[in-house]
């Protein structure tokens, strides 16, 4: 009986085992995947090791960290604060640590910082109102932290510019236009530092979060509802925007506080607005292939800044910048200018 059972088990094992050809194919596929992974890793842009890595600038969340690259200089250096994009719902500071991103500044004696911040979902979990306040205030706190480290990190606190793309661009503009958040009476030395910027150069920036204004500029605009707490599991960006429109009057004070264009005044610093992915000439009332990063955002902010007498550069395909040449060159000139 035992011998019979043994034969049955052996037979079942043989029947269930994959054919030799299938095993070979599986191994070959695994090797190909490993090769592809190694190839992708080899192609990934090289990242420079930060002088200071994952520096904790806040106590509210583990994402409140920044990396800092110190430029070689005998005198205090200007700083470029890089704020990553991702709609305030994703992204990471590591994207700005590449040689290509850092070298132009470091070679000019300009230090660089790249910052992480709380996302909208994390802000909602913490009860922050409106949720967009968390990433924006985190960026402000990171800026204050850098100033507080001026001596230790050889930083010139009077020369700090910001850059970023998409949501990081919106955050940079908010910092550039917002009144100084420094609290001179605070017991916290970091909170006593200024949040003002020398300049900002951004790509694909959202310059307004007012849904009525946006639909006038871009009829198919759908970005901004999540910033004010209208996001939920399974809810689309368009549905969030519809809820923002329905509740606009209720959240209007927040819109006025967190839309960069609402905060601009005659004392605003020089601004560079770049929209490199624009597919058509921007025009108010025209639907856009990419309404979230449309150059119409830049057109309208540029009009406002020009009215105020603030220097502004607007660039997009078919409308090149002939003064500085790029956002990077703009930042270098403004931060190194005497």
The domain that holds 279 is classified in CATH as 3.40.50.1820
pTM score, whole prediction: 0.87
Q: How far apart are CA 33 and CA 38, in angstroms?
A: 9
Dihedral class, residue 54 (left if φ above 0, else alpha if ψ from -120 to 50, else beta): left
Write out the residue range of the structural domain in which residue 315 sits: 52-336
Please check whether residue 17 lies inside any domain of the structure: no
Please check whether residue 43 lies inside any domain of the structure: no
Please check whether residue 232 lies inside any domain of the structure: yes
Q: What is the pLDDT of residue 9?
A: 36
Q: Are 177 and 265 in contact (CB under 8 A)?
A: yes
Q: What is the pLDDT of residue 239?
A: 98
Please check whether residue 47 lies inside any domain of the structure: no
Q: What is the pLDDT of residue 23?
A: 52
Cα–Cα nearest to 174, from 134, 147, 127 = 134
Q: How far apart are CA 299 and CA 318, in angstroms?
A: 13
Q: How far apart are CA 10 and CA 28, in angstroms?
A: 27
pLDDT in tens, 278-312: 999 999 999 999 999 999 999 999 999 999 999 99
Please check whether residue 19 lies inside any domain of the structure: no
Please give the tally of structural domains in the chain. 1
Q: What is the pLDDT of residue 46?
A: 84
Please check whether residue 10 lies inside any domain of the structure: no
Cα–Cα nearest to 304, from 173, 171, 212 = 173
Please check whether residue 5 lies inside any domain of the structure: no
């Amino acid at each position: 009986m035992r011998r019979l059972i043994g034969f049955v088990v052996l037979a079942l094992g043989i029947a269930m085992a994959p054919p030799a050809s299938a095993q070979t194919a599986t191994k070959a596929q695994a090797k190909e995947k490993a090769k592809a992974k190694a190839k992708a890793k080899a192609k990934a842009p090289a990242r420079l090791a930060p002088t200071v890595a994952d520096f904790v600038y806040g106590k509210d969340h583990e994402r409140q960290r920044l990396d800092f690259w110190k430029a070689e200089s005998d005198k205090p250096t200007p700083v470029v604060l890089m704020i990553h994009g991702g709609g305030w719902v994703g992204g990471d500071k590591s994207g700005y640590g590449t040689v290509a991103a850092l070298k132009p500044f470091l070679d000019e004696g300009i230090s660089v910082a790249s910052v992480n911040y709380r996302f909208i979902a994390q802000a909602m979990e913490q009860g922050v109102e409106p949720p967009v306040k968390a990433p924006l205030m985190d960026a402000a706190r990171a800026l204050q932290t850098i100033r507080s480290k001026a001596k230790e990190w050889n930083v010139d606190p009077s020369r700090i510019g910001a850059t970023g793309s998409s949501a990081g661009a919106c955050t940079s503009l908010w910092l550039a236009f917002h009144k100084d958040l420094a609290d001179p009476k605070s017991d916290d030395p970091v909170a006593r530092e200024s949040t003002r910027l020398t300049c900002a150069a951004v790509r694909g920036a959202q310059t307004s979060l007012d849904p009525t204004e946006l639909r006038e500029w871009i009829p198919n605009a759908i970005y901004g509802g999540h910033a004010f707490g209208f996001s939920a599991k399974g809810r689309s960006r368009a549905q969030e925007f519809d809820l923002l429109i329905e509740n606009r009057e209720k959240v209007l004070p927040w819109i006025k506080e967190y839309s960069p264009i609402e905060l601009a005044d005659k004392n605003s610093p020089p601004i560079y607005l770049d929209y490199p992915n624009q597919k058509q000439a921007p025009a108010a009332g025209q639907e856009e292939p990419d309404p979230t990063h449309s150059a119409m955002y830049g057109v309208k902010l540029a009009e406002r800044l020009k009215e105020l007498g603030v220097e502004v550069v607007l660039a997009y395909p078919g409308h090149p910048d002939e003064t500085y040449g790029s956002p990077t060159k703009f930042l270098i000139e403004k931060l190194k200018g005497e």
